A and B are shown apart, each in its own frame.
Chain A
Amino acid sequence: MKIQRFIGAGACWLSSLLLPGVAEAASKPTLHVYTWADYIKPEIVKRFEKENQCRVVIDTFDSNESMYAKLKAGATGYDIITPSSYMAKMLFDQGMLLPLDHSQVPNIEHIDPEYLKIAIDPDMHHSVPYMLTNTGIAYLKKRVKKPEASWALFDRPELKGRTTMLNDMRETIGAALKFLGFSLNTTDEKQLEAARDVLIRWKHNMAKFENEQYKTGLASGEFLLVQGYSGDILKAQEENKDIEFVLPKEGYSVACDDLVIPKDAREVTLAHKFINLVHDPKTAAENTEFISYLCPNKASYVLLGKEIRNNPTLFPPAEVRAKSEVIHDLGADNQKYIKVWDQVKAAE
Chain B
Amino acid sequence: MKHSRLPLLTTLLVLIFFYLPIVVLVVNSFNASRFGGTWEGFSLKWYAQLWSQDEIWQSLRNTLFIAFGATAVATVFGTTAAFALHRFSSRLQRFHYTLIYTPLVVPEILMGMSLLLLFVALGAQLGLFTIFLAHVTFCISYVAMVVLARLQDFDFSIVEAAQDLGAGWWTAAWRVLLPLLAPGIAAGALLAFTLSIDDFVISFFVAGPGSTTLPIRIYSMIKHGSPPLINALSTLLLLVTFVLVWLSQRLTEEKNQT
Contacts and interface: CB of A to CB of B under 8 A. Distances in A.
Contacts of B222: 62
Interface in A64-97: 66, 69-70, 73-78
A73 to B, nearest CB: 5
Interface in B139-187: 174, 178-179, 182, 185-186
Contact of A75 (B72, B126, B129): B126
A30 B208 CA distance: 13
Given A74-B116, A74-B120, A62 B209 contact: no
A57 to B, nearest CB: 4
B207 A1 contact: no
A11 B68 CA distance: 11
B35 A34 contact: no
B69 A14 contact: yes
A49 to B, nearest CB: 12
Contacts of A59: 207, 209-212, 216
B37 A220 contact: yes
Interface in A1-17: 1, 3-4, 7, 9-11, 13-14, 17
Nearest to B109: A69
Contacts of A335: none
Interface residues of A, number: 46
A66 B200 CA distance: 12
A158 interface: no
A182 interface: no
Interface in A22-74: 30, 32, 34, 36-39, 42, 57-63, 66, 69-70, 73-74
A70 B113 CA distance: 8
Contacts of A73: 113, 116-117, 120, 205
Interface stretch (B19-27, B83-91, B223-231, B234-242): B223-231
Interface of A: 1, 3-4, 7, 9-11, 13-14, 17-18, 21, 30, 32, 34, 36-39, 42, 57-63, 66, 69-70, 73-78, 212, 215-217, 219-220, 235-236, 238-239
25 contacts: A1-B182, A3-B179, A3-B182, A3-B185, A4-B174, A7-B76, A9-B72, A10-B76, A13-B72, A14-B69, A17-B132, A18-B129, A21-B129, A32-B209, A37-B217, A58-B55, A59-B207, A60-B212, A60-B216, A63-B223, A66-B204, A73-B205, A75-B208, A77-B208, A239-B34
Closest 3 CB pairs of A and B: A10-B72, A74-B120, A220-B37
Given A216-B35, A236-B35, 7 more contacts: A10-B76, A14-B73, A17-B128, A38-B221, A57-B209, A70-B116, A75-B208
